[in-house]
Amino acid sequence: MTVVRISDDALALACGADAVAAAFVGAGCTVERVSSWGMHWLEPLVELDGKGFGPAVPGDVAAILNGTSAKAIGIIADHPFIARQQRLTFARAGKTRPLDLADYAATGGWAGLYRARSIGAPAIIAEMSQSGLRGRGGAGFPAGIKWQTVASAPGDRKFIVCNADEGDSGTFADRMLMEGDPFQLIEGMAIAAHAVGAGQGYIYVRSEYPHAIAKLNAAITLAAEIIAPFTIEVRVGAGAYVCGEETSLLNSIEGKRGEVRAKPPLPAHQGLFGQPTVINNVLTLAAVPHILSEGGAVLYDSHGFGRSKGTKPIQLAGNIRHGGVFETPFGITLHDLIYDIGGGTASGRPVKAVQVGGPLGAYIHPDRFDLPFDYEAYAGADALIGHGGVVVFDDTADMGKLARFAMEFCAVESCGKCTPCRIGSTRGVELIDRIRGGATAGGAVESLPQMHNAAKTPRSREADIELLEDLCETMKFGSLCALGGFTPYPVLSALRHWPEDFG
């Protein structure tokens, strides 16, 4: 019987994979539902004897089966988009059934966990440090050091918390990993638990990801015996972006408002329910089984650029022809990512700007597309890698409007704890409106007699821009967390590189 493979990833489903799968069943085929290869422009992608066809619709079934389909892309694994990658975390993408324990074990699953148990906690942490793995959630903190801190912190109980809040626009690698290879995340958490002596783990998933939640719950049940006595529970977020910030996330699991906590104490010392807690991103934890397999740490460390070690699953999104997940060692340039790999814009128009690192990331001008993908290089260019989302905009983008959107997003999502973020963001929206609208008359509040220091005469555009820059400075240095602290990045980068879009 003919076996075809079609992904059941949420993105493939959104593109119509179920109807295509049903049509193949109707044609007498066996359909295996696998994870997604991550070539999103080709979804739903049909695999038949290693060859790919996409984007498929039910009407393509006969042509695919009799070898006359015009949607053939050849051997999938040889496709340049796949062949150019170095897939460690996404090694199984497209190849295994997400909830099949036999598929997982046959592709090296659990080897890292068994080896970790045999070498013991100090050796696990030593190998984690040796691998050079840095947190994939944004801040890039060395994972080995975090684990060491939790391991040596005194506490009755310890926790492993997986940050699966993935709120950044332009990112979907966490989602794909949870849906496509949930056992790998579970294995990584079990290894972390063994390393620090934790008994309970939580995966905090955003409510926008119902498919990931279902897959994780099923996978946890299937793997329960293997990871015992460690247990894992999925917790579902409730639509607050700021709950991706680690301390806000911990408050949220505890059933509180998702307000950011002041540090210290670090979560590693007093985290969930006041106990020492490892909190890591999905991709950080999912990289662990590979690192803990025989020779994995050395191999991981051998990849990368400068102090950015290993591979990074980069997400190509927005107005790009070949969007998807591209896992590669650090150091790749935006130019290569956008043109050579991504094929330029989907609209065929020139690229105007790229936002890297989600809503808090800078807008990067094509002049800087030579920037290597590296934490330090980006920081030096007033930009951030964040979770590795790359959102491409063509020349129809209005950068002033996007700057306003960044401020508005901050205003809506602010947890409210600090003034520069809570109030500053709203003032920022008003200021950008005023700059763009050309109306610079002083506001009603400023004209009140008790506002001694406020200007009574209308401000010039230059003065308004100066005020906006000043406000951004205050937000940057006066905010407790990166929501208020980094919102100035997209705003100021847009203002600096595309002043003509500000009226």
Partner 1 sequence: MNRSARLVEIVAAHAGREGPLLPLLHEVQAEFGCVDGEAEAQLAHALNLSRAEVHGVVSFYHDFTATADPRPCVQLCRAEACQARGVEALVPAAQAAAGGRVKLHDVYCLGLCSVGPNARVGDQLYARLDQGSLVELIERA
Among candidate residues 357, 361, 360, 502, the one with its CA nearest the CA of residue 425: 360
Query: DSSP class of residue 136?
Result: S
Q: For ligand FMN, which is the closer residue by CB, 338 or 483?
A: 483
Q: For partner 1, which is the closer residue by CB, 301 or 340?
A: 340
> Distance between CA atoms of 190 and 199, rounded to whole angstroms?
9
Q: For ligand FMN, which is the closer residue by CB, 54 or 428?
A: 428
CB of 14 vs partner 1, minimal distance in Å: 4
Residues with Cβ within 8 Å of 78's Cβ and at least 6 positions away in sequence, in order, are none
Indicate left, alpha or beta for 94 from its phi (over 0: left) and psi (-120 to 50: alpha): left
Q: Which two tokens stand for residue 319?
A: 């107005």
Task: From the list ligand FMN, ligand SF4, partner 1, none, pick the one residue 402 interacts with, judged by a Cβ distance below 5 to 8 Å according to partner type.
Answer: partner 1
236 binds partner 1 (CB under 8 A): yes
235 binds partner 1 (CB under 8 A): yes
In three-state secondary structure terms, 206 is: coil
Angle between helices 210-227 and 173-180 (to 10 degrees): 50
> Distance between CA atoms of 344 and 323, rounded to whole angstroms?
10
Task: From the list partner 1, ligand FMN, ligand SF4, none, pick the one residue 344 interacts with, judged by a Cβ distance below 5 to 8 Å according to partner type.
Answer: none
By CB under 8 A, what part of segment 398-427 binds partner 1? 402, 405, 409
By CB under 6 A, what part of segment 424-483 binds ligand FMN? 481-483
Residue with tokens 């990658």: 85
Distances (CA, A) of 353 to 314, 332, 362, 432, 489: 17, 18, 10, 19, 14
> Distance between CA atoms of 140 and 357, rounded to whole angstroms?
12
Among candidate residues 161, 219, 151, the one with its CA nearest the CA of residue 189: 161
Q: Which two tokens stand for residue 491?
A: 């705003």
- The residue range among 35-43, 274-282, 337-345, 346-354 that interacts with ligand FMN, by the rule CB under 6 A, is 274-282
Given candidates 272, 483, 492, 494, which one binds ligand SF4 under the rule CB under 6 A?
483
Task: From the list ligand SF4, ligand FMN, partner 1, none, pick the one residue 414 interacts with, judged by a Cβ distance below 5 to 8 Å according to partner type.
Answer: ligand SF4
Contact 93, 181 (CB under 8 A): yes
Binding mask of the shown chain, residues 170 to 199, with x at each position contacting ligand SF4 by CB under 6 A? ------------------------------
Q: For partner 1, which is the closer residue by CB, 179 or 464?
A: 179
210 binds partner 1 (CB under 8 A): yes
CB of 310 vs ligand FMN, minimal distance in Å: 13
Q: Is the dihedral of CA 503, 371, 340, 171 positive or negative?
A: negative
Contact 55, 42 (CB under 8 A): yes
- The residue range among 43-51, 288-296, 349-357, 482-490 that interacts with ligand SF4, by the rule CB under 6 A, is 482-490
Given candidates 20, 403, 406, 421, which one binds ligand SF4 under the rule CB under 6 A?
421
Element spanning 188, H or E: helix 182-196
417 binds ligand FMN (CB under 6 A): no
Q: For ligand SF4, which is the closer residue by CB, 415 or 491?
A: 415
484 binds partner 1 (CB under 8 A): no
CB of 399 vs ligand SF4, minimal distance in Å: 23
> Distance between CA atoms of 354 and 118, rounded to whole angstroms?
46
> Distance between CA atoms of 334 and 270, rounded to whole angstroms?
39
Query: DSSP class of residue 339?
Result: I
Q: For ligand FMN, which is the closer residue by CB, 242 or 471?
A: 242
Given candidates 81, 104, 147, 209, which one binds partner 1 under the rule CB under 8 A?
209
253 binds ligand FMN (CB under 6 A): no
Interface with partner 1 by CB under 8 A: which residues? 10-11, 13-15, 40-41, 43, 166-172, 175, 207-211, 233, 235-241, 252-259, 273, 315-320, 323-324, 346, 355, 359, 389, 391-394, 397, 402, 405, 409
